[in-house]
Structure 1
Amino acid sequence: MHAAGAVVCSICTGTLFLAEAGLLYGLEATTHWSVAPFVREHYPDVRLRPERLLCPAGTGHRIVTAGGASTWSELGLYLTARFAGDTEARRMSKLFLIGDKSDGQLPFAVMARPHQHTDAAIAAAQVWLGDNYTTGNPVARMAEIARLPERTFSRRFRKATGYGPVEYVQALRLEEAKQMLETTAEAVDAVALAVGYADPVFFRRIFKRSVGVTPARYRQRYAGFLRV
């Protein structure tokens, strides 16, 4: 299969099968730490890197070895990113809680999809907000667009979407902030300003409360997490 162009992967002691088949000759590879001495003794031509979780090697990186059995998740994310893109890999990481769970589940969570509804006035306000969520006092502006008093607007908005207006605005802003932290090197203060928070201290506080970690910690978890 490899000779026909397939990408061949192994996890844990599966490296031994690839080495025995001659596929790792002269290539870097990783494996479970416990069999590293065995590999060195019996397959001295393998350039063993047991400190690594993943080790793509060979022409076109068509050989990929992974460390211990639990590294299936890193291998899965690597392959997803490689064949479906980084965005899809990040989505899979969040959906299946793959990665460091020491901070709990909140860093994996994304904004819940708003309810489907038929309230045209609220729908118009949602459409406007999608392009203008960085605007100051957006709830008052949405009420104007919906042509409703603010209290009536708030009640109808919650009934239609399942979110309070302020909660909805914050959720949109934080989802955009998370996207920027995942995919750009913008400073946290610049991210805060870009999504509508003029006070970076307030942004950090609301981000930590909603996401469970600081913006810097979130970036550390996701930005470039697929690099090998």
Structure 2
Amino acid sequence: MKHITIVVPDCRVNVNTIGGAYDILRQANEYWKQAGHPSLVNIEIAGFASEVRSHNGYLAIRPVDIRQIRQTDLVLIPAVLGEYEEAVRQNQELLDWIRLQYKCGAEVASMCSGAFLLAATGLLQNRACSIHWNKVAEFERMFPGVQIATGKIITHENGIYTNGGAYSFLNLILYLVENLFDRSVAIRCSKVFQIEVERTTQSPFTIFQAQKEHDDELIQHAQTYIEEHLDSRISFEKLAVQLAISRRNFDRRFIKATGNTPVAYLQRVKIEAAKKELERGRKTIFEVMMDVGYTDDKTFRDVFRKITGLSPADYRSRYNKARATA
């Protein structure tokens, strides 16, 4: 029998990730037993804190004392709700315990922003990590030695698992269920808990941030120009001349400030505008395409799919309540 420990850090956590992981793993074990197999897992919720409450105070978890658990086979770290540096400072004893368990052969998985605690153990150094798309900047600032697996829902490397945020932790738990039990149990859980199986990317859910948290005023002017001329054909050669800078230096400073080339930034701004139109409006895909400055249907669809992982039609079908037809 394998022992699974869902740890409870001494900080603000998303208790739903604790309860959700526990419920799915427990139910998976029940399905396994119903199929005639002996019980496969023993799941405990444990920590150094005597109690952890949800952010609204309505739900409380009273973990067992983690010092009673000398060895486990799988450690699950729940999502942390902000104040990540403080969370790391408050949980040094827990981080030491996780490091020791991994050294003794346990696997370790973080759910969403639980990756901040996992990274603080040092176990992610020079390894890939999936993190919610809106936590990437802060994560990179705190842990520059960890490689971000951009857009991925799940990473798995040398017994270390991470997942890309919010309720996609459910996809991670399904992944673990398949590894612990088998494919049939994972599929059964996906149907009963109504979790989309085989989800691999965050791309459809990503909201493009304007990347203006820098102090290069010239590049900020360029970004504003791009955003105000989405329906136009923008020449970066001409824009560089207007800003009194060479194209080479313009590209270099743009990449340094935003992390994107000017062309990639333009594409992402256009597609973000197109996504909003598709979500809220009744315009045809052709009209949306023209609104954001594309004149070639194939190019628009290719760029849209590259950034979101979906075609414009599929994206609208999924996120527009009106479900207008093109």
With the length of structure 1 as denominator, give the TM-score of the two structures.
Answer: 0.52
1:129 matched residue in structure 2:
226
Q: CA RMSD in A?
A: 2.6
- Asked if residue 149 in structure 1 is aligned to residue 264 in structure 2, the reply is no
Distance 1:145 1:223 in 2: 39
The residue identity in structure 1 corresponding to 2:259 is: G
Moved >4 Å (runs of 4+): 97-103
Q: How does 1:1-228 map to 2 (within 5 A)?
A: 96=166, 104-224=201-321
* Whole-angstrom distance in 1 between the partners of 2:263 and 2:197: 29
Whether the aligned pair in 1 keeps the contact of 2:231 and 2:293 (CA below 8 Å) is: yes
- Any conservation in 1 of the 2:289–2:297 contact (CA below 8 Å)? yes
- 1:156-180 deviations in Å (ceiling 9; x for gaps): 1111121110011001000000000
Distance 1:137 1:115, change over 3 A: closer
C-alpha deviation, 1:120, in angstroms: 2.1
Structure 2 Cα separation of the partners of residues 100 and 225 of structure 1:
23
1:46 equivalent in structure 2: none
Q: Relative to 1, partners in 2 of residues 1:125 and 1:194: Cα closer, same or farther, differing over 3 Å?
A: same
Indicate conservation of the 8 Å contact 1:124/1:145, yes or no. no
* Equivalent-residue separation in structure 2 for 1:129 and 1:167 (angstroms): 12
Code of the residue aligned with 1:193 in structure 2: it is: M
Q: Residue 273 of structure 2: SS of its match in structure 1? A: helix
Asked if the contact 1:129–1:142 (Cα under 8 Å) also holds between the matched residues in 2, the reply is no
Render the CA deviation track for 1:124-169: whole Å, top value 9, x for unaligned.
Answer: 1112222112221342343123211111100011111211100110
The change in CA–CA distance for 1:100 and 1:187 in structure 2 (over 3 A counts) is farther
Distance 1:207 1:120, change over 3 A: same
Question: Distance between the aligned counterparts of 2:307 and 2:231, measured in 1?
Answer: 18
Rounded to whole Å, the distance in 2 between the matches of 1:183 and 1:102 is 28
Change (3 A) 1:217 1:196: same
Q: Does the Cα contact within 8 Å between 1:107 and 1:213 map onto a contact in 2?
A: yes
Cα distance change of structure 1 residues 100 and 195 upon mapping to structure 2, 3 Å threshold: farther
Distance 1:101 1:219 in 2: 21
CA, structure 1 residues 140+97, in 2 after alignment: closer, same or farther (shift >3 Å)?
Answer: farther
Q: Secondary structure at the match of 2:207?
A: coil
More strand by share: 2
How far 1:222 moved relative to its partner? 0.4
C-alpha contact (below 8 Å) 2:212/2:220 kept by paired residues: no
Residue identity over aligned pairs, in percent, reads: 32
Relative to structure 2, which stretch is displaced further, 127-136 or 174-183? 127-136
Task: Give yes or no for contact 1:154–1:164 (8 Å, CA) kept in 2.
Answer: yes
| Post-superposition offset of 1:196 | 0.7
| Consecutive unaligned residues in structure 1, runs of 5 or more | 1-94
Whether contact under 8 Å (1:121, 1:147) holds in the other structure is no
Aligned residues: 133
The structure-2 alpha-carbon separation of the partners of 1:158 and 1:101, relative to structure 1 and needing over 3 Å to count, comes to farther
Distance 1:159 1:129, change over 3 A: same
Q: Which amino acid aligns with 1:183?
A: R
Q: Quick one: distance in 2 between partners of 1:102 and 1:206?
A: 23
Residue identity matched to 1:210: I
